[in-house]
Structure 1
Amino acid sequence: MKTLTPIHITDNYLINPTNPITVNLIGCGGTGSQMLTNLARINQAMLALNHPGLMVFAYDDDTVSEANLGRQLFAEAEIGLYKSVVLINRINRFFGTNWKAVTQRYDADYVEAQSNDGKANLFVTCVDNAVSRFEIATILEGFTGYQSYERNRPLYWMDLGNSKDTGQVVLSTIGNHKQPESKKYAPVGNLPFVTETFKELLETADATDNTPSCSLAEALTKQDLFINSTLANMGSSLLWQLFKEGLLFNRGFFMNLHDFRTQPLKVA
């Protein structure tokens, strides 16, 4: 008997939304700063295809330091300013968008204080430690039983993470998405969270050294110059497939920039 290939078919709301798709980008550092620019490019392309596009909220309570220059998309004149504000202002001026910057940490305390519970259709996380991922996972798990057709209904979570020259991207569904029947493929409606798929690995991982670097030279001993941009570009390509093609055979990938190798994470 022939085994059908597992695929995930994009939730219809992302394909035919009545409003711009809401996106919470959490973290505006090395990967997040690159990811925000890519989201703007995706938005521009979607508008050209008569899609309502994206409405992005960028969350980060950190400010620009000298060590961020070069590896992250910041200039010397922006030192001391909030990263999220700098990036959102730049994107809005260049692309004519009306996206919003939030100079707060996206955590349980923040969500509890919001009237809309901090919801969005898509969550993109670019955080640098496992603790933050587990906290965000707990928040998103609270959204899984949310069956309303409100325009901010949480649907997907994309997590991007990296070390010095390796990284990974994992796309998950927030809850189970009903899939159409298919005789050619085996549609999969539930893509587990990264904290579920790789729970033991995250729990046993060495604690990340979050001590701020004093210079770009010191920062480059912790993360390669192009690891963040490479990861963001490939992750954005996965998002573009989700929006434009409407189906996925892969829900992410592992990347080794030192050896120039990538390994897809299949839908299963």
Structure 2
Amino acid sequence: MHIINTDYLEAKPIWLGEFDRVLLVLIGCGGNGSYMAETIARFCRLLTQQGKRAQALFIDPQSVEIKNIPRQRFSDAEIGLNKAQVLAARYSLLWGVEILAYPTLFNADLLQGYYNWLIFLIGCVDDGPARSEIAQSLNQNSSSDLPKRWWLDLGNHRESGQILLGSAPTPNHLRWAFQTPSHCLTLPSPALVHPEILLPRPEQLTHAPMSCAEIAILNAQSQSVNGMCAAIASDYLNRLLFGQLKKWATYFDLETGTTQTRYNSPQTIAQFMNR
């Protein structure tokens, strides 16, 4: 006997409330981040055309290296330049939007000048400490009001990946998620759903330099996964901004061609209220 998953049928779209100022923060400008950069610039342009104030921050302390090419969206001419600065210059000019680049690690202090802005933290980092900093910044969200900060996290392995969206740093923040019957008002933070993402990945515990053969293998096996992550995340962002998003997690595997999605239904969100 097959059990029918009715989560989508009961899912409610996320309501962000009224807003006129939007800040899109790209944290990490490498594999997934270099693919998300133009999407973020395009959304800034679209929001500006709709009469809203839109700005983007690109944040990454690393410079372009030969091992990043061609998996990441950089060219040989950009080797040695900071990733955030390269992408900010490229796409601010292309789309005529305001993008500030910070060649540093993400720190919540960078958001201090954006009081009462609606902020989207697009996390494209794969190490625990960086994600922990993003997770902690959600503590600024009220447990009794619409969240002003949302975290869209992109993560991947060689053939698979996940996209997670959330705003609630604690179970207490979720208790009024469905206060209005027609909408979802908040979602569990990616760190609340998958606390293991705050831990360092095993391959990051060694600092041995990669050989040319290892670089070739990495590039050969990762040509599609970053683009897939970015495509799904871009759709999340589009639906979220325009009141149509009914999902908060998507998992995919390119080798098997499978995708699994979790939706904004009361019974699904209730699972995280007692953690």
Normalised to the residue count of structure 2, the TM-score between the two structures is 0.78
Match of 1:156 among 150, 154, 158: 150
Give the distance between the partners of 2:145 and 2:14, measured in 1 at CA: 20
Quick one: percent identity of the two aligned structures?
24
Give the distance between the partners of 2:130 and 2:250, measured in 1 at CA: 21
For structure 2, list consecutive stretches of 5 or more residues without a partner in the other structure. 1-5, 269-275
| CA shift in 2, pair 1:166/1:51, >3 Å | farther
Report what 1:88 is aligned to.
88
- The Cα of 1:96 is off from its aligned counterpart by 1.2
- The Cα of 1:69 is off from its aligned counterpart by 1.2
Report what 2:225 is aligned to.
227
Give the distance between the partners of 2:123 and 2:166, measured in 1 at CA: 12
Give the distance between the partners of 2:241 and 2:53, measured in 1 at CA: 10
Amino acid aligned to 1:87? L
- The Cα of 1:128 is off from its aligned counterpart by 1.1
Give the distance between the partners of 2:60 and 2:199, measured in 1 at CA: 26
- The CA RMSD measured in Å over matched residues stands at 3.1
- The Cα of 1:190 is off from its aligned counterpart by 2.8
Higher helix share: 2
Match of 2:251 among 240, 254, 259: 254
Q: Does 1:31 align with 2:32?
A: yes
Q: Deviations over 1:117-164 (max 9, x none)?
A: 8986111100012332223212322x1239899xxx833110110111
Q: Deviations over 1:225-252 (max 9, x none)?
A: 11111110111001101112x0322112
For structure 1, list consecutive stretches of 5 or more residues without a partner in the other structure. none
SS of corresponding position for 2:11: strand
1:1-268 maps to which residues of 2 (within 5 A)? 5-13=10-18, 17-19=19-21, 21-48=22-49, 50-52=50-52, 54-107=54-107, 111-112=108-109, 115-116=112-113, 121-141=119-139, 143-145=140-142, 154-174=148-168, 181-182=180-181, 185=182, 187-199=183-195, 201-202=196-197, 206-209=201-204, 211=207, 213=210, 215=212, 216-220=215-219, 224-244=222-242, 246-267=243-264, 268=268
Give the distance between the partners of 1:24 and 1:114, measured in 2 at CA: 9
SS of corresponding position for 1:170: strand
Amino acid aligned to 2:236? L
State how many pairs are aligned: 249
Q: Does the 8 Å CA contact 2:129/2:199 hold for their aligned counterparts?
A: no
SS of corresponding position for 2:98: coil
Give the distance between the partners of 2:200 and 2:237, measured in 1 at CA: 27
- The Cα of 1:47 is off from its aligned counterpart by 4.3
Q: Does the 8 Å CA contact 2:15/2:185 hold for their aligned counterparts?
A: no
